[in-house]
Homo-oligomer: A and B are copies of this chain.
Amino acid sequence: MSSRHALIPARPVDDHRRRIEDALRPLSGRAVETVPMDRALGRLLAADVDAPLDLPVFRNSAMDGYAVRADTVAIVPATLPLIGVVAAGNTEQLTLPPGAAVKVMTGAPVPPGADCVVPVEHTESDGVTVTVRTSRATGDFVREPGTDVRAGALLASAGTLLRPRHIAALAAVGLGELPVRRRVRAAVLTTGDELRPAGTDLLPGQIYNSNGIALAAALADNGVEVVSVAHSTDEHAEFRARLAEAVAHADVVFTSGGVSMGDFEVVKEVLAAQGGEFGPVAMQPGGPQGLSVVDGVPVLSFPGNPVSTMVSFEVFARPLLRELAGLPALPISQLPLLDSVRSPAGKRQFLRGKLAADGVTLVSGQGSHLIAAMAHAEVLVDIPAAATEVPAGTVVEVRPL
């Protein structure tokens, strides 16, 4: 048996990204669920919400003061009999007789018969009468019902990412729950006989599994619900079993490892046999990539080097996952690269960088295994595939990590 490896032509990054996005985009039509208002922050409103009632709900006072008819205080000082007090929350209804005054608190109903409110600061009262020192026009300090929003009017539209200000308005009309898109549900499945969980002692040749926890964090950070984080050895049967569990309860599965050119590439071997496409993408790090669909569920297969895994997530999954969650797009900026770099011909490079006052610098340690170095990075620096020598000062595309 010859193991001579033919060079498979590498697919451009944007081609592979588009194939992944085509596979994931149907998730924008995912199911709607109802959540109580106190769990709605950061969720994506799934339907237009109309106001079920007017805001303000009723004609009320904008100030602590005295409700009067404007024409009875046209000449000041004017002393009027005080015939009652309406606190906010008073549910009895009082009517203002002509020529009198009613004390009202902010938010309290303005009695029928009154057409303005004189702020308490511009009055004196002995509890029996009130002396008004400043004239007021009809409508002053009176909030009319429906002037904020009318019953039946659109209050928040489908697709709104719910921020505190939306929740304030939706709670003000008495809504106790909201229809929101279910979060995208992802399962993470790491592979590799060499990976061990935290808290175990390493034997020679073993390392700790960081991809599971890191992919889960990256997914959660971008509005995805992580339904499971599992690990498989490089045994086909075990991987098949873990994969079946993952696709059973997730909208999308992310695997790491097992996609390269070695002898034990469990992910590639199992999924290619089910029609998955595996092959090199013209990028560094993260070259070997796979995309499969199992029981209708897209499975994205990233390489296992920790930096490759994280860069694959940033390049292929993060932008669309943010869009599906209604999160703002990541700002992409053009900045001068303050270091010079060499880049392999035909491979787009995603280098880890840090922002400086006048541009972007590279963190030291760009190997695909240098995960501690990546912790010091703030951005990915995108070096085009065609570039081979990038002199310092070249303007490059930079995206936040």
Stoichiometry, as copies per complex, reads: 2
Contact: B148 with A174, CB < 8 Å? no
Q: How far is the CA of A40 from the CA of B310 in the complex (A)?
A: 17
**A88 in complex: contacting residue of B55, B192, B216, B373, CB < 8 Å:** B192
Task: Please give, as numbers and ranges, the residues of chain B lying within 8 Å of A241 by CB-CB distance.
Answer: none
Is A262 part of the contact surface with B, judged by Cβ < 8 Å? yes
Q: Can you name the residue of chain B whose Cβ is closest to the Cβ of A169?
A: B375
Task: Please give, as numbers and ranges, the residues of chain B lying within 8 Å of A234 by CB-CB distance.
Answer: 87, 89
Task: Please give, as numbers and ranges, the residues of chain B lying within 8 Å of A202 by CB-CB distance.
Answer: 53, 57, 174
Is A125 part of the contact surface with B, judged by Cβ < 8 Å? yes
State which size class the interface on A falls in: 35 or more
Task: Please give, as numbers and ranges, the residues of chain B lying within 8 Å of A375 by CB-CB distance.
Answer: 155-156, 165-166, 168-170
Q: How far is the CA of A107 from the CA of B234 in the complex (A)?
A: 14
Find residues 204-218 in chain A having any chain B CB closer than 8 Å to their own CB: 204-211, 213-214, 216-218
A208 in contact with B143 given A164-B221, A365-B148, A371-B55 (CB within 8 Å): no
Is A56 part of the contact surface with B, judged by Cβ < 8 Å? yes
Task: Please give, as numbers and ranges, the residues of chain B lying within 8 Å of A205 by CB-CB distance.
Answer: 58, 86, 88-91, 93, 108-109
Task: Please give, as numbers and ranges, the residues of chain B lying within 8 Å of A53 by CB-CB distance.
Answer: 202
Contact: B171 with A213, CB < 8 Å? yes
Is A277 part of the contact surface with B, judged by Cβ < 8 Å? no
Contact: A218 with B89, CB < 8 Å? no
Q: Can you name the residue of chain B whose Cβ is closest to the Cβ of A370?
A: B148
Contact: B88 with A210, CB < 8 Å? no
Task: Please give, as numbers and ranges, the residues of chain B lying within 8 Å of A371 by CB-CB distance.
Answer: 55, 148, 168-169, 172
Contact: B143 with A372, CB < 8 Å? no
Is A286 part of the contact surface with B, judged by Cβ < 8 Å? no
Stretch of A2-10, A244-252, A343-351, A384-392 lying at the B interface? A2-10
Stretch of A12-20, A21-29, A193-201, A290-298 lying at the B interface? A193-201
A214 in contact with B174 given A37-B198, A204-B91 (CB within 8 Å): no
> What is the interface of chain A, defined by CB distance below 8 A to chain B?
1-5, 7, 37-38, 40-42, 51, 53, 55-58, 62, 64, 85-91, 93, 103, 105-109, 120-121, 123-127, 143, 147-149, 155-156, 163-176, 192-195, 197-199, 202-211, 213-214, 216-218, 220-221, 229, 233-234, 260-264, 304-306, 310, 365, 367-375, 377, 401
Closest 9 pairs (CB-CB, A-B) = A89-B193, A89-B194, A168-B214, A176-B198, A171-B210, A149-B372, A169-B375, A64-B262, A172-B210
- Please list 19 pairs of residues, one from A and one from B, whose beta carbons are closer than 8 Å in the complex, sorted by A's number: A2-B126, A37-B198, A55-B371, A62-B368, A64-B261, A87-B234, A88-B193, A89-B206, A89-B234, A108-B194, A147-B365, A148-B365, A149-B372, A163-B401, A164-B218, A165-B375, A167-B214, A169-B210, A174-B202
